Amino acid sequence: MELEELYQEVILDHSRRPRNFGEMPDAGVLVHGDNPACGDEIHLAVKFNANGGLEDIKFSGRGCAISQASASLMTMKLKGKSRAEVMEMVRAFHDLVTADTSEAPNNLGDLRVMQGVRKFPQRVKCAMLAWRALQQAFEQGSGEGTVSTEPV
Ligand code: FES
């Protein structure tokens, strides 16, 4: 199987059966993110641990395969990570889908399937939607808020 086909398979799998999808009644932070270019939205629920790390994370909403797969992969990768690790991963993922560098960092694991997005600049907002919501959740710290993919 070609690598590109494998990547597409992973993205389709996560968009059809998103992991960590649903509500979180005891969430500490809720962020409603939207992509104004298409009207798609994500609702991100986060619970922080005593050290400010990511104890639990879930999402709901609707969007294209890229946005759903990106959110699903993000929650799997980041659950249980410290604040510093999350921030580093957000930066690395943004580079992955935007930068014109050759190699994707190994620490991104399965998230590297999103690298193909960089060839389609209009899809970067799709890939970043969940990540912008997560950044906002950390900035907020508690309560309910909103964020938009503008500007990425
Ligand atoms: Fe709306 Fe991708 S087309 S998030």
Using CB atoms within 10 Å of the CB of residue 23, give its burial: 0 to 12 exposed, 13 to 18 middle, 19+ buried.
Answer: exposed
Which atom, in ligand 1's list, is nearest to the CA of 123? 2
What are the residue boundaries of the structural domains of the chain, listed by start? 2-147
> What is the C-alpha separation between 132 and 29, in angstroms, rounded?
14
Report the residue among 64, 74, 97, 132 best suited for mutation to probe ligand 1: largest number of ligand atoms under 8 A from its CB. Answer: 64
135 or 121, greater pLDDT: 135
Give the pLDDT score at 152: 46
Residue nearest to atom 2 of ligand 1 (CA): 126
79, two tokens: 């659950």
Name every protein residue with a CB atom under 6 angstroms from any ligand 1 atom: 35, 38, 40, 63-64, 66-67, 126, 129
pLDDT in tens, 66-113: 999 999 999 999 999 999 999 999 999 999 999 876 676 778 888 988
Q: How confident is the model at residue 116 (pLDDT cuts 50, 70, 90)?
A: confident
Task: Give the 3-state secondary structure of residue 139.
Answer: helix
* Range 2-147: architecture per CATH: Alpha-Beta Complex (3.90)
141 or 2, greater pLDDT: 141
